[in-house]
Structures are given as C-alpha cells and as structure tokens.
Amino acid sequence: MNASVDSLDIDPAAAEAILSHHSKFSRVEWSSLRFGGSKAASKGVQAAPEAPGHRETGDIYYPLSHLLRLRVAAARQLWNSQGRFLGRPSQPPPFIIGIAGSVAVGKSTLACELQKVLSEWPERPRVELVQTDGFLRPNAWMVDRGLAKRKGFPETYDMRAMLEFLGQVKRGATDARAPVYCHETFDVLSGQERQIGSPDILLFEGLNVLQGPHAASASAAPKVLVSDFFDFSLYLDADERHIEAWYVERAIDLRGASKGRPPAYFEDQSEPVGMLEAVQRIWREINLRNLRENIFPTRERADVVLRKAADHTINEVWLRRS
C-alpha cells in the first residue's frame, strides 16, 4: 500500500511498515458501508435522516457502529461457546473500546458521538464513557515531584488505579467506580467517584491508552497493559499543524473561561509574555513532545485509525488487517 505519513517526520521505511498493518478507506468508500454492507447485516439498525451539519454521523459513525456491532456479537458468541465447553456458562463481560489520540484532536467529541450511536442499537446496550483524566495524579503531587510540565505523560497517571478499575469492569463488578476530573480547576476531584457498574459497552478514552510496555531490560517481568483489557481500539489522528492550531484555540478559550478560578493549568504562564506565546510554548514543550514520544507511536496498535482534515472532518479510515 502506497501512502504517505505526514503526522510526524519519521523514517519512510518505518512509515510504510506502520501503514502496512491497515487497509485505507476514503471517506466516500467508508460512507458506502453505512448500512452494514447488506440488508442482513443492517437489520434493525437504522441510519437516521441527517440534519444539516451531521454528515459525520452518517458517513463515519454509522459504518463504524455496524462494524462494532459485528465485533461485539462475535465476542459474545465466543464467550458463550467457551462457557458451554467448560461447563461454566456465564454472562459475557463488558465490551471495552479504547480511544487514543493527541490532546485537542477531538477524542472527547468522538467518544460522545460514538456513545450516542452505539446506544441506538436495537438491543439498547448501556454504553458508559470514562476518560483517563480522572486517573491523573493530583496537580500538587506532580508539583512535589517536578512533573508539572509533564502532565499527561504516562508517569503522571495512577496506573495501578486505572488497571484495577478496568479489571473490575471486565469482571462484571457492579460496584466499579471511576475518579472524576474537573476541567474548570484542571485537577482531579479528591474523594469524588462516578458509579460505572457493569455496562454492556465501555468507552475508555485517553492520551496513552494504547501504550506498550516500558521494560527496563529484556529480562524484566512482563507488565499488564491498559490495552490488554480492550476488545477494540480507535486512534484519532491528524497532522501536527492542525492539532496545534486546535490546541491553541482551545487553550486560549479555556484561559479566558478560567479567570477567577484556580489557575492550575496556567501556572507556568506567569512570565510577562503574551497569552498566545505562552500557549504555543506549552504545546511545544509538553503536548507536542508527549505526542511524538508516547502517543503517536501507539497508532499502529489501533484496530481503526480515523484521520481528520483541517476542518475537523474525518477524511480517511484505516482498518487493521489482523
């Protein structure tokens, strides 16, 4: 497959190796799958008439919804078959979907839209959405350890808590709870949790959810990964220059909205520089670095990569071959 990778400046051979894992569909090609490829596949799932400005739902999310419905059905069938073989039939565990991508690329919008579309299946599954922001260490914890300027990097998350939560969900625990993050104070809310229980489908969205192991040496013991709990994974992708523009716009809007509130996110902007310069510096020193070092290298692990254009529309879909 001949295709270019312009998200990052990486070796062409490495880029080709990454792309070889996926089959690429244009927006038009992907949209043609919106009815599931056949009447049988789409039985009971209706693509609602599109309102102006909602073409993304019909062109992108409905085909993805059909694909996911097939994957969920296959996973449940395998679970039930295995249960009969073992003589231990039980309720299939929640189907967990990981959603990864850079800060400001639109993961939350994607997750919310996907939650809505999946909830429309004839089975009316209960679809819960959890963001990894709640598993970030408190800002004070990061400041004490000199990690304030690495917020969002893998080491700033409470990985044990994250793995324990996913383990509870996968076991079907009815008391599974997720911590809560406040986007006004840019900090986790101490002692506050959200009841998740045992949904039919869990969307788990965050920067580094597809992160691989970071063994200190080849002899190091294998680690349990967040992605080990996933039944399916998505990566939302775009060119660096587009993500930077979206980040700057969003950060300036948030800065304006944060006046009079705890300025945790903008503490390092106390120098006498313009807001635009400060936001651009944070992008270069923190978010771009995190993207290049930790987030983008996980793209090849995703089952589906959604590529966005400058206007936020998804113009390509890459489907993993195996």
pLDDT digits (tens, 9 = 90+) for 54-101: 689 999 999 999 999 999 999 999 999 999 999 999 999 999 999 999
Chain centroid, CA 239 distance in Å = 17
Helix or strand (DSSP H, E) at 97: strand 95-101
Average pLDDT estimate for 38-46: 44
Condensed to tens digits (0 to 9), the pLDDT of residues 277-294 reads 889 999 999 999 999 999
pLDDT, tens digit, 9 for 90 and up, residues 125-135: 999 999 999 99
Percent of the chain with pLDDT over 70: 79
Mean pLDDT of 8-20: 55
> Residues 172, 146: contact at Cβ < 8 Å?
no
Bridge-based pairing state of the strands 232-237 and 201-205:
unpaired
Domain positions in the chain? 94-320
User: Looking up tokens 């996911």, which residue turns up?
Assistant: 68
- Please say whether the beta carbons of 204 and 272 come within 8 A: no
- Please give the pLDDT value at position 304: 98
Question: At 18, is the pLDDT very low, low, confident or very high (cuts 50, 70, 90)?
Answer: low
Decide: helix, strand or coil at residue 195.
strand
Question: Hey, what are 56's tokens?
Answer: 């993304």
Interior angle at CA 249, CA 245 and CA 250, nearest 5: 115
Helix (H) or strand (E) holding 13, with range, is helix 12-19
Q: DSSP 3-state assignment of 48? A: coil
pLDDT at 17 over 80: no
Residue 276's SS3 state is helix
* 6 pLDDT tier (thresholds 50, 70, 90): very low
Q: Coil, strand, or helix at residue 304?
A: strand
Half-sphere exposure of 190 (CA within 13 A, CB side): 4
Gap between the Cα atoms of 41 and 260, Å rounded:
53
Taking a C-beta distance cutoff of 8 angstroms, is the pair 242, 306 a contact?
A: no
How far apart (Å, rounded) are the C-alpha atoms in residues 258 and 252? Answer: 10
Q: Kindly report the three-state secondary structure assignment for every residue of 63-83.
A: HHHHHHHHHHHHHHHHHHHHH
Comparing C-alpha atoms, which of 287, 283, 280, 322 is closest to residue 301? 322
Give the span between the Cα atoms of 284 and 5, in whole angstroms. Answer: 20
Q: Which residues contact 54 (CB under 8 A, 6 or more apart)?
A: none
- pLDDT above 50: residue 202: yes
The greatest distance separating any two alpha carbons of the chain, rounded to the nearest whole angstrom, comes to 69
| Full DSSP string of 165-188 | HHHHHHTT-TT-EEEEEETTTTEE
CATH of domain 94-320: 3.40.50.300
Least confident segment among 4-8, 132-136, 189-193:
4-8
User: CB burial class (10 A; 0-12, 13-18, 19+) of residue 319?
Assistant: middle
Higher pLDDT, 262 or 170: 170
Name the pTM for this structure: 0.86
d(CA 63, CA 36) in angstroms, rounded, equals 6
Q: Residue 41: which pLDDT band, with cuts at 50, 70 and 90?
A: very low
